Every structure is written in structure tokens, then in C-alpha cells.
Structure 1
Amino acid sequence: MAERLIQSIERAADVLELFLAAHQDLSVKEISDKLGLSKSTVHGIIKTLEYRGYLEQNPDDLKYKLGLKLFELGNRVVNNLDLGKIARPIIKELVEDLMETVHLVVFERGEVIYIEKLDGPRALRIYSQVGKRAPIHCTGVGKAILAFQEEEEIERILSNTDLQSFTEYTLTDKEDIKKQLRTIQEQGYSIDDEEIELGLKCVAAPIFDHQGKVIAAISCASPKIRLSEEKLVEVIKVIKLAAAKISQSMGYNAEHALV
């Protein structure tokens, strides 16, 4: 494949990607120095990109920045993304690997909604079903999403949520929930240990979009008796990896996410 690459296009891509890494406007000389290209070569690339709207020049210091054409293209990509379509093969692979039920939920106005559910071969009848809303304070998927909201949003959601107790293990005190959320944020995953249904244990991880915002979560649900310590470690690992794959496909970049 490498022999079919067009060098001029490769160099143009290098110039554009340089702006992603630099996070600042750049002059022809700065681009030339960073890429190890002659100023005349860089100048030709930049002028072409500017003409097509991919770069813009600041008339005050004559430095260049990314243009609106890239913003338009980026929006088109984001609008074409389909979370369910992207996640479906990953969910199927998870079920085949873990032999347990896997869920995908989205975050909508302070609530979580199941949009995908694929049962494992030994699935039990449990609370979840596609289209159903899930409590945000005591489900793995709900807590995985809630933990990565701004502090003010967490406070608002908890203050406007009926912190209902479903089992003896459900946390209903707002401060206790906040403490648990801080731990979830640190470790990058959440666990529902019989909080929504006795005998049920879930591991969930958040899914981020191109702006670095949590938009969804994925989880593995299993009877607690089947989740030994060894199996739990495995489930946590693969669920976090699956969430990261979906996030990346949704345009998320931990280093360059917009805020």
C-alpha cells in the first residue's frame, strides 16, 4: 500500500496534523522547521490549503490557523456517525467472549436509556430492555455516565432524581453517591453490585464523543455467582477496551478532545 501513497498529499496532511499537535497559529518558518521541509515547499502547500479553505491566514502576524472547511468536514463526519451501528459488532464480540449479557445505553437529559441489548447463552431475565430508562444512581451504566459529568451537573441530576432504593445495597444518600462517583472517575469504570437487582452484578464503562463528552456507556451484566475475582478482572479489562474502541470510532481523542 505504501508505494501507492502520493507524497504531496502526505505532506499536506502532515501540515494539517501539525496544527492539531501545536494548538496554536503557525508561521511558514515554524511549519518548515517542525516538518523538516523547505520554506518554498511549505509555502506552496499552505497557499493551496488556504485557497481551498483548509487554512486561514491572520493578517496581523501572517501566521496560519485551521480553516472553516475542516470544521464543515468534521461536522459532516460527526453527523454521519451512528453509535448503534458502530457498537453492534463490538457488542457481539463481547457476548461471544464473555458469554454474558451486554448493554449499550445513551445519556439523554439526565437519564439513561437502553438502546442495545444482546443476551449471552446463559442469560437470565433481568431489569433491562431496549427502550427502557435506567436509574442513573444505581446502575453500572448510569453511574459510568454520571461520574464524568461536571460537578454542577452531577449535583443538579442527583437533586432532581428520586434516589429510590431497589435493594438493600442501593446507595440513596447523595454524598455517598458522590463519593462513589469520584472513585469511578479515577478508575474509569463502574460496578453495580446488586444495587438494582439482587444477585446481579454489572461492570460498565463510559463512551465519549469527539468533544470529550460522555454520551453513552456499555456494560456486561452477569449473575454475581458467575463473577469470580478472576473473571471480574477480565470483564473490567474488556469492557474498558470496548468503550475505548467505540469512543475512538465516535471521534474521541483523549489528547485533542474539544472542551
Structure 2
Amino acid sequence: MPIGQGTSGVQSVGRAFDILEVMSTVGGSISVTALADKTELPIPTIHRLIRTLVGRGYVRQLPSRHYALGPQLIRLGESATQLFGAWSLPHLLELVECTGETANMAILDDSMAVYVAQVPSPHSMRMFTEVGGRVFPHCTGVGKALLLQLPDTSIRAMLHRSGLQPYTENSVTDAEMLIGELHMSRQRGYATDDGEQELGVRCFSVPVIDAPIPTAISISGPAARVTIQSAKEIVPHLQRVASMLTDEFKRISK
């Protein structure tokens, strides 16, 4: 059954989004024949839609005559990310009020974790992360919570592309060791960063289930305040707010 079948709305618009979503899923370039196979659309229809998408900058043709996502999508993505982050701020503020530490939200973009929102701690000694900042996920709590949402095969492929650069003496630099840690984190329901991105900083993070893209929220602060033992107080707040965010995603997607 074609991807868009059974939905209401303008058929050609739905088919165009089917093409964009397939391109996004393959993560690179794709031929018209492969698009026809994955979308079950006729090749003449794909050619017609592709010409329109190329003309608007949402798709680009490569020298190989394959097609890939175009640069115009970047502008739309940046605007959506800003709105996404702004929408989450009341929830992050609630986390700060409950824990006294800095709250963050991040999404997964290719092989990087991107911070889309932050509410800082009221303490004078606190953690600052620039909204829009990009970090490798293997050495941050919020990044690991993003990885929790992927199968092991996808995690291995991502780590192969990006590597596991050490940022501190605590950074995990072995892929299988990291995957083992992620298995344990899935069982206990949260991820940690214990001075792996920056010495003296500890972070607890949980995934936000059913978000449009892999999303996670975290609490971070100086290790002297955010102790290992404080997880039993902080993590339930994170899980409660993540559940609230999940409920909102379900509501707005109906």
C-alpha cells in the first residue's frame, strides 16, 4: 500500500511528503527507481513531483542522477526547532523549580545532539549550554538518552561515522562499552553523564517518547550538588515531565 494511502487531504501534497520522508529515512541519496519501490508510486508521478521539489529547493539532483534532500529544508528545520524549543520552556522551568538545577532539551540531528531549549539554575554556580549548540551524544547525558531510542545497529553505524572522541578522562571511547551502558540505562529508565563532557559536571537524562524526532530532557549541574544519590529525587521529576511532553505530542498529532 502506498505510504500516503488512507489519509485525507490533497493527494499530490501527501505524495510529495512521502518522497521527502523516504529521502530522510535513507539518510543519503536515492534513485527514482528506489523511490518508486519504497513509495509504490508510478515513476512518471515521481518525476513530476521531483521536478517541483527541485525547483523549490527542497530536493537536489546529484551528478549521479540520484536525488537528495535540498538546502531549503534547512531553513524550515531551523524555524521548527526554535518553535519546538520555545514550546518546551514551561516544562523545563518546572524541572528547575523542582530540582534547583539547569534543565535542557535536545534532539538528535544525524549523529549530533542539538540543544533546542534551556532554563538555567538560579544558583550562581550553574551549567550553561548554548541553545543551538551541537555535541556528540556518546559523552553527554542528554545525548545518551537520545541514543536509548535507537537500535544497536543504528548506534554502531552512527559511532562509526562520528567516532568516540574523549573529552575528559571519564569519556567512554569504546563502542561496545557504550552500548552495554545504554542497555543498563534502558533497564533503569535514565542515562547519566559523570564528568564525561566536562569534569565536575553530572547530568541525568530521560528520553521523551513519541516525539516527532528523538528527543530527550536532562538536569545537569556541579557534581558536588548533583550527586549520584540525588538521582532518586531528580529522575522521577524528569520522567514525569517527559510523560507530560509525550501526552502533548500525542494530543497535537491527532
Q: Could you say whether these structures have the same fold, taking a TM-score greater than 0.5 normalized by the shorter chain as the test?
A: yes
Alignment-derived partner of residue 206 in structure 2:
205
Query: Contact between 2:139 and 2:196, CA under 8 Å: does it hold in 1?
Result: yes
Matches within 5 A, 1:131-150: 131-150=132-151
- Aligned counterpart, 1:114: 115
Q: Aligned AA for 2:85?
A: G
Does the Cα contact within 8 Å between 2:98 and 2:237 map onto a contact in 1? no
Distance 2:114 2:146 in 1: 11
Please state how far the C-alpha of 1:162 moved relative to its aligned partner: 2.5
| Distance change (3 Å), C-alpha of 1:144 and 1:91 | same
| 1:169 alignment counterpart | 170
Please report the TM-score for the alignment, with normalisation by the length of structure 1.
0.62
Partner of 1:83: 84
Aligned to 1:219: 218
- Amino acid in structure 1 at the alignment position of 2:235: I
1:123 Cα deviation after fit: 4.9
SS of residue matched to 1:131 = coil
Quick one: percent identity of the two aligned structures? 29
Between the aligned partners of 1:117 and 1:189, the Cα distance in structure 2 is 19
Unaligned runs of 5+ in 2: 1-5, 15-79
Give the Å deviation of 1:223: 0.7
Compute the RMSD of aligned alpha carbons: 2.9
Contact 2:89 2:118 in 1 (8 A): no
Runs of 4+ with deviation above 3 angstroms: 67-70, 80-83, 123-127
Aligned AA for 1:242?
V
For the Cα contact (< 8 Å) 1:140–1:191, is it kept in 2?
Answer: yes
Which residue type is aligned with residue 221 of structure 1? Answer: S
Q: Is the 8 A contact 1:143 1:181 kept in 2?
A: yes
Is residue 83–residue 250 contact of structure 1 (8 Å, CA) maintained in 2? no
Q: Corresponding residue for 1:22?
A: none
Larger Rg over CA atoms: 1
Distance 1:176 1:205 in 2: 20
In the other structure, the counterpart of 2:94 is 93
Counterpart amino acid of residue 90 in structure 1 = H
Pairwise mapping of residues 21-100 of structure 1 onto structure 2 (< 5 A)? 68-69=7-8, 83-100=84-101
The one-letter amino acid of 1:224's match is A
Distance 1:119 1:136 in 2: 21
5+ unaligned residues in a row in structure 1: which ranges?
1-66, 253-259
Instruction: Output the TM-score relative to the length of structure 2.
Output: 0.64
Count, aligned residues: 181
Q: Distance in 2 between matches of 1:206 and 1:103?
A: 12
Q: Do 2:120 and 2:127's aligned partners in 1 also have CA atoms closer than 8 Å?
A: no
Name 1:27's counterpart in structure 2: none
Q: Separation in 2 of the partners of 1:178 and 1:199?
A: 24
Residue identity opposite 2:164 in structure 1: L
CA contact (8 A) 2:146 2:215 kept: yes
Secondary structure at the residue paired with 2:214?
Answer: strand
